[in-house]
Structure 1
Amino acid sequence: MPHATIVEEFPKTALSRRTGDVLAAAATGPVCLTDHGKPRFVLMTMAQFERLSGRTDGRTEDWTRDLSPEEQALFLAEIDERMCDI
């Protein structure tokens, strides 16, 4: 099973104060949310979760193979957003 590296860490209060920053970071990789300085939660895109849990068929990797990491993050975030609207 693939592993993930935490890309950024925020206190859980950042969810209400800096929502955009937290979500932008989560679009690029898993984000750790802390409570009183201790890791408590991980926030990530659905695509990232599916890759980690082995619940994906691999097609998104084919679609994003030639994109830069930044383009991949934007592409996958857009897919996640549209999937939530369905």
Structure 2
Amino acid sequence: MKQFTTGDLNKQVGDVTDAASREPVVLTRHNKPRFVLMSYDHYERMRTGGDPRRAYHISEMPDEHVALFGEALDRLARGEGYDDEA
């Protein structure tokens, strides 16, 4: 995630908003994160749950993900899945 200072926002509003249109950016003040600037579309996806991606701690991972993860690890341990995938 890119970072800009609040001073950068005042001086380079175009650069900062261009970056925020691609991904959320952190605005810092006195070297501390203060704000996050993002596109409205990104905000709406977060607010409404429209983005299905989610990170899980291993202890909270749904059973179907545990099974898929285990299968993938087994394939890699057997040396499969490196050169045979397009």
- Normalised by the length of structure 1, the TM-score is 0.55
Q: Percent identity?
A: 42
| Aligned mates of 2:14, 2:49 — CA distance in 1 | 27
Structure 2: gaps (5+ residues): 51-86
Unaligned runs of 5+ in 1: 1-6, 57-86
The one of 30, 33, 39 equivalent to 1:36 is 30
- Larger RCO (CA within 8 A; separation ≥ 6): 1
1:50 corresponds to 2:44: yes
The 2-side partners of 1:27 and 1:42 are apart by: 12
Partner of 1:13: 7
Displaced runs of 4+ in structure 1, greater than 6 A? none
Between structure 1 and structure 2, the one with the greater Rg is: 2
How far off is 1:23 after superposition?
0.5
Give the superposed CA RMSD: 2.0
TM-score (norm 2): 0.55
Q: Of 12, 20, 23, which residue of structure 1 is paired with 2:17?
A: 23
